[in-house]
Amino acid sequence: MIASTDSNFGNRVASLPLPIRITREQYAALSLFHRAVAAHYLERGTGEVILVDSEQNEPL
């Protein structure tokens, strides 16, 4: 998680990073190592990596 400062109180709050959105074409172009890492996160289903349609940018 990324910590940021709440401007009202000066407290540090955690914010989740945006997911990585990748198309099938981009996935196929990855090196074997990076494809394995992406596949791991896709299989976990936690939303860190999302496979999207190249035209719509909507999850498949």
CB atoms within 10 A of CB 39: 13
More confident residue, 20 or 58: 20
Is 90 exceeded by the pLDDT of residue 59?
no
Tens-digit pLDDT profile for residues 21-53: 999 999 999 999 999 999 999 999 888 999 998
Which pLDDT value is given to residue 21?
A: 92
Q: Are strands 12-15 and 2-5 parallel, antiparallel or unpaired?
A: antiparallel
Q: Which residue has the higher pLDDT, 31 or 11?
A: 31
Which sequence spans correspond to the domains of the chain? 18-60
Q: What angle do CA 2, 44, 39 make, to 5 degrees?
A: 95
At 50 the three-state DSSP class reads strand
